[in-house]
Chain A
Amino acid sequence: MINIYEVEETNKMVEKENLDVRTITMGISLLDCAGTDLTDVCNRIYNKITTYAKNLVSTGNEIAKELGVPIVNKRISITPISLVGASCCKTPEDYVEIAKTLDKAAKEVGVNFIGGYSAIVSKGMTPSDELLIRSIPKAMACTELICSSVNVGSTKTGINMDAVRLMGEIVKETAEYTKENDSLGCAKLVVLCNAPDDNPFMAGAFLGVTEPDAVINVGVSGPGVVKYALESVRGESFEVLCETIKKTAFKITRVGQLVAQEASKRLGMPFGIIDLSLAPTPAIGDSVADILEEIGLEHAGAPGTTAALALLNDQVKKGGVMASSYVGGLSGAFIPVSEDQGMINAVEAGCLTIEKLEAMTCVCSVGLDMIAIPGDTPATTISGIIADESAIGMINQKTTAVRVIPVIGKKVGDNVEFGGLLGHAPVMPVNKFSCADFVNRKGRIPAPVHSFKN
Chain B
Amino acid sequence: MKKCVITVVGKDTVGIIAKVCNYLADTQINILDISQTIVSGYFNMMMIVDFAAATKEFGTVDEELEELGKSIGVVIKCQREEIFDMMHRI
Query: A residues within 8 Å of B by Cβ?
Result: 1-4, 6-11, 62, 65-69, 251, 254-255, 257-258
Contact = CB atoms under 8 A, between A and B. Distances in A.
B84 A4 contact: no
Nearest to B83: A67
B44 A67 contact: no
Given A66-B80, A69-B83, A8 B44 contact: yes
Given A65-B62, A255-B87, A3 B35 contact: yes
Contact of A254 (B36, B48, B80, B87): B87
B15 interface: no
A4 B46 contact: yes
A2 B81 contact: yes
Interface residues of B, number: 27
The 4 closest A-B pairs by CB, nearest first: A68-B79, A254-B86, A4-B46, A2-B84
A356 to B, nearest CB: 35
Contacts of A4: 35-37, 44-46
26 contacts: A1-B32, A1-B48, A2-B84, A2-B85, A2-B88, A4-B36, A4-B46, A6-B84, A6-B87, A7-B46, A7-B84, A8-B7, A9-B88, A10-B83, A10-B84, A11-B7, A65-B62, A66-B80, A67-B79, A68-B79, A68-B83, A254-B86, A254-B87, A255-B83, A255-B87, A258-B82
Contacts of A251: 87-88
Most chain B C-beta atoms within 10 Å of own C-beta, residue among A7, A65, A68, A255: A7
B33 A1 contact: yes
Contacts, number: 61
A388 to B, nearest CB: 40
B58 A66 contact: yes
B62 A258 contact: no
Contacts of B89: 2
B5 interface: yes
B60 to A, nearest CB: 12
A395 B31 CA distance: 58
Contacts of B80: 66-67
Contacts of A65: 59, 62
B77 interface: yes
A65 B88 CA distance: 20
Contacts of A257: 86
B43 to A, nearest CB: 12
A21 to B, nearest CB: 11
A2 B5 contact: yes
Contacts of A68: 77-79, 83
Nearest to A11: B7
Given A3-B35, A4-B44, A66 B87 contact: no
Most chain A C-beta atoms within 10 Å of own C-beta, residue among B44, B79, B81, B86: B86
B87 to A, nearest CB: 5
Given A65-B59, A65-B62, A66-B80, 15 more contacts: A1-B32, A2-B84, A2-B89, A3-B35, A4-B46, A6-B87, A10-B88, A11-B77, A68-B79, A254-B86, A254-B87, A255-B83, A255-B86, A255-B87, A258-B82
Contacts of B45: 4
